[in-house]
């Protein structure tokens, strides 16, 4: 596709699900004059070369960011500080440095102290993903109609924010700007708490004495299987999310616990009216999400169904 | 399709998601010499006539079950007793009477006392569904490769159980036989607890002070939207499930609460190792469900993604 690159050179650090998806989209849309990418893992770099994820696969972060106009670190939140320290001396003045982490306050605090004043540091979080990880999991369409939240530090350069916003919009995303602290509170409820609950219940089901694992798997279509998707997400990424957004997660968990106690009490007391009222209210939330284009309107997430078997023919 | 009907006459009571799905499948497969159906709601009966869900729409349960060889009640668990009382005097000797309720112990206790000894009462539970309800929600393929659990009372007629099992297998389901009590324990973990948790968290997210409903909807792709599907299920059905399977649900809830406390403590203490270990273990469960054919292998449940937008062309 003959397009004007938005940046002469883009550098991607980390080629998991998000990094490799950005790589696919940048290449397909021709957004970079040159796309350079790297990953801490030798195996991932080798696979990225096979998959032709970038014009050039660099063997170090320093090499990758050299002369880059946009640098995006797609790494677990826990290693952001190390990456910032690593790349700082090699950054081109005027470059935009960003990330894709699910927590923003800690990323800001971890990376900012290392980065030189000559670059524009604008943390970002594309609220998109699948349960798969690694360089083979990425695809160019991942960000389409999803939201990307930018959390520029106070006094950040408005033109640089606009440029990064334009980049994400070109990838198909909607862009919203907010403070890092508010981001962390919002995502604690729309993402972190759901993951924690899913990880918990999947673990609970796996450790019961009276119900076998085989039974849990076989009868999972009753609802349980929905939870297993996000409980299959990358363990390193999610460990770091909970370690770095502890306060907001614990706050949301407190609210959840109160509500669970209320419903538990209604069950214990046989209060059908309270249950019915609650279950009716929650139904409306899904309609809102579907109407906003953030969820498919197809029943059961559009999961496929096989064709009816043939009935025995008349003799 | 020219097939041998398995039953000269089949009667369906209740034409919501499950009842109307059975109706579609029975008609498409030609499993009934005559299919008679009814519903307590005048509107649903009218819609069922428009949709041609049965050969004949009866205006009362008594009329529907007359001369039927197989009667299936697809009604909320809470009205099973009333249905049994209603149909009992009109049942044909030798008929099989069944249901599709998500709780089996209470259905057995509610219906059995009313039903005459001349019929075979075999409770059943097809573990299948979508978040949609009503006569328009049904489709013939709903039961394909899902499990249908039969819970015949002790001393139930083996030939009748076989006949009902054959019926469900023809609809595409796998059949398993177990006691009603064990069913209620298994489903408490694979279905009832997940629904309770989903209903809770969706309610929690909707009532926060610091995060608006609009933000919850917009950023729901971070994980939250997965929970909204089962929290959009039929409120009457689910009220009855929790009222009638109270003990098993509270038992599973106890186990869940212990595990949630354990993970909460790990977060509070910053115990990354415990979190990582837990998150790695739960990942395997989903693989088991996919391998068993109870879940799609496609990432993100196979949710659709739009095409990449066109990048600006070179001038």
List, for residues A88-146, the tens digit of each pLDDT value: 999 999 999 999 999 999 999 999 999 999 999 999 999 999 999 999 999 999 999 99
Largest CA distance in chain B: 84
pLDDT (0 to 100) of residue B309? 73
pLDDT in tens, B60-76: 999 999 999 999 999 99
pLDDT (0 to 100) of residue B314? 52
Alpha-carbon span A282 to A261, nearest angstrom: 17
pLDDT in tens, A160-218: 999 999 999 999 999 999 999 999 999 999 999 999 999 999 999 999 999 999 999 99
B222 and A281: CB-CB below 8 Å? Answer: no
A276 and B239: CB-CB below 8 Å? Answer: yes
A190 and B220: CB-CB below 8 Å? Answer: yes
Per-residue burial over A208-225, b = 16 or more CB atoms within 10 Å of its CB, e = otherwise: beebeeebbbbbbbbbbb
- Least CB–CB distance from B219: residue in A190, A239, A302: A190
Q: Which residue of B has its CA nearest to A270?
A: B243
Nearest Cα residue to B124 out of B157, B94, B147: B147
Beta bridge partners of A11: A36, A71
- Least CB–CB distance from A189: residue in B216, B239, B306: B216
Largest CA distance in chain A: 84
Q: DSSP assignment, residue A190?
A: I
B281: pLDDT strictly greater than 80 = yes
Nearest Cα residue to A122 out of A35, A190, A180: A180
Tally Cβ neighbours within 10 Å of residue B281: 16
- A306 band by pLDDT with thresholds 50, 70 and 90: confident
A76: pLDDT strictly greater than 70 = yes
pLDDT (0 to 100) of residue B3? 63
- The beta-carbon contacts of A127-130 under 8 Å, at least 24 apart in sequence, are A127/A187, A127/A190, A127/A191, A127/B219, A127/B221, A127/B222, A128/A18, A128/A21, A128/A173, A128/B221, A129/A17, A129/A18, A129/A233, A129/B221, A129/B222, A130/A17, A130/B299, A130/B300
pLDDT (0 to 100) of residue B2? 45
Tell me the two tokens of residue B264.
């909460």
Alpha-carbon span A138 to A169, nearest angstrom: 18
pLDDT (0 to 100) of residue A311? 61
Per-residue burial over B98-119, b = 16 or more CB atoms within 10 Å of its CB, e = otherwise: bbbbbbbbbbbebbeebbeeeb
pLDDT (0 to 100) of residue A2? 45
| pTM listed for this prediction | 0.95
Alpha-carbon span B31 to A311, nearest angstrom: 8
pLDDT (0 to 100) of residue A309? 73
Interface test with A, best of B247, B311, B312 (most A CBs within 10 A): B311
Do the beta carbons of residue A229 and residue B301 sit within 8 Å? yes
CATH architecture of B7-178: 3-Layer(aba) Sandwich (3.40)
- For B101, the 3-state DSSP assignment is coil
- B308 band by pLDDT with thresholds 50, 70 and 90: confident
Chain A residues whose CB is inside 8 A of the B173 CB are none
The owner of tokens 């708490």 is A193
Alpha-carbon span A202 to A259, nearest angstrom: 20
pLDDT in tens, B139-149: 999 999 999 99
pLDDT (0 to 100) of residue A86? 98
Alpha-carbon span B73 to B38, nearest angstrom: 10
Mean pLDDT computed over B41-46? 98
Nearest Cα residue to B239 out of A201, A286, A263: A263
Beta bridge partners of B3: A313
Alpha-carbon span A95 to A267, nearest angstrom: 57
pLDDT in tens, B150-189: 999 999 999 999 999 999 999 999 999 999 999 999 999 9
The owner of tokens 């550098």 is A11
- Least CB–CB distance from B278: residue in A199, A246, A283: A199
Nearest Cα residue to A171 out of A3, A39, A28: A28
ipTM confidence: 0.94
Write the CATH number of the domain with boundaries A183-297: 1.10.3660.10
Beta bridge partners of A126: A148
Task: Report how far Cα A305 is from the mean position of its chain's Cα atoms.
Answer: 28
Do the beta carbons of residue B145 and residue A308 sit within 8 Å? no
Cα A51 to Cα A37, A38, A45, B42, B105: the distances in Å are: 12, 13, 10, 60, 55
Beta bridge partners of A52: none
Number of residues assigned to chain A = 315
Alpha-carbon span B139 to B144, nearest angstrom: 11
pLDDT (0 to 100) of residue A287? 93
A302 and B307: CB-CB below 8 Å? Answer: no
Cα A174 to Cα A121, A132, A169, A292, B214: the distances in Å are: 20, 23, 6, 12, 14
- Least CB–CB distance from B29: residue in A198, A211, A311: A311
In this chain, the answer to whether the domains covering B7-178 and B183-297 adopt an identical fold is no
Do the beta carbons of residue B103 and residue B245 sit within 8 Å? yes
B17: pLDDT strictly greater than 60 = yes
State which H helix or E strand residue A252 sits in.
helix A246-269
Do the beta carbons of residue B249 and residue B239 sit within 8 Å? no
A166 Cα to chain B: minimum distance (Å): 11
Nearest Cα residue to B121 out of B181, B166, B186, B72: B72
Average pLDDT over chain A reads 95
Alpha-carbon span B23 to B16, nearest angstrom: 10
Do the beta carbons of residue A141 and residue B305 sit within 8 Å? yes
Secondary-structure breakdown of chain B: helix, strand, coil percentages, each rounded to the nearest 5:
50, 15, 35
Residues whose CB falls within 8 Å of the CB of residue A284, separated by 6 or more in sequence, listed in order: none
User: Range with the lowest mean pLDDT among B4-8, B53-57, B171-175?
Assistant: B4-8
Do the beta carbons of residue B72 and residue B19 sit within 8 Å? yes
Chain B residues whose CB is inside 8 A of the A1 CB are 310-311
A313: pLDDT strictly greater than 70 = no
Tell me the two tokens of residue A120.
């524009």
Chain A residues whose CB is inside 8 A of the B137 CB are 299
Torsion angle of C-alpha atoms A172, A177, A180, A182, degrees rounded to 10: -110
Q: Are strands A124-126 and A147-150 parallel, antiparallel or unpaired?
A: antiparallel
Ordered by start, the domain boundaries in chain B are: 7-178, 183-297
């Amino acid at each position: 596709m003959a397009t004007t690159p938005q940046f002469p050179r883009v550098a991607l650090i980390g080629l998991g699900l998000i990094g490799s998806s950005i790589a696919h989209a940048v290449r397909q849309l021709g957004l970079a004059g040159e796309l350079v990418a790297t990953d801490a893992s030798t195996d991932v770099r080798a696979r990225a070369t096979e998959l032709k994820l970038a014009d050039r696969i660099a063997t170090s972060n320093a090499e990758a960011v050299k002369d880059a106009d946009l640098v995006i670190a797609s790494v677990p939140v826990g290693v952001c500080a190390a990456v910032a320290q690593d790349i700082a001396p090699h950054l081109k003045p005027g470059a935009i440095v960003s990330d894709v982490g699910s927590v923003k306050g800690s990323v800001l605090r971890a990376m900012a102290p290392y980065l030189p004043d000559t670059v524009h540091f604008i943390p970002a979080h594309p609220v998109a993903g699948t349960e798969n990880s690694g360089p083979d999991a990425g695809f160019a369409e991942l960000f389409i109609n999803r939201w990307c939240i930018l959390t520029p530090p106070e006094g950040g350069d408005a033109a640089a924010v606009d440029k990064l916003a334009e980049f994400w919009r070109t990838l198909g995303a909607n862009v919203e700007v907010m403070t890092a602290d508010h981001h962390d509170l919002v995502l604690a409820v729309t993402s972190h708490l759901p993951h924690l609950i899913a990880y918990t219940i999947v673990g609970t089901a796996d450790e019961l004495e009276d119900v076998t694992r085989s039974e849990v798997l076989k009868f999972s279509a009753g609802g349980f299987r929905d939870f297993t998707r996000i409980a299959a997400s990358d363990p390193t990424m999610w460990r770091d999310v909970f370690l770095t957004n502890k306060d907001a997660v614990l706050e949301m968990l407190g609210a959840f616990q109160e509500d669970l106690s209320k419903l538990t009490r209604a069950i214990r007391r046989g209060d059908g009216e309270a249950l019915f009222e609650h279950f009716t209210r929650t139904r409306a939330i899904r309609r809102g999400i579907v109407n906003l284009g953030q969820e498919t309107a197809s029943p059961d997430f559009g999961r496929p169904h096989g064709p009816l078997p043939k009935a025995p023919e008349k003799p």
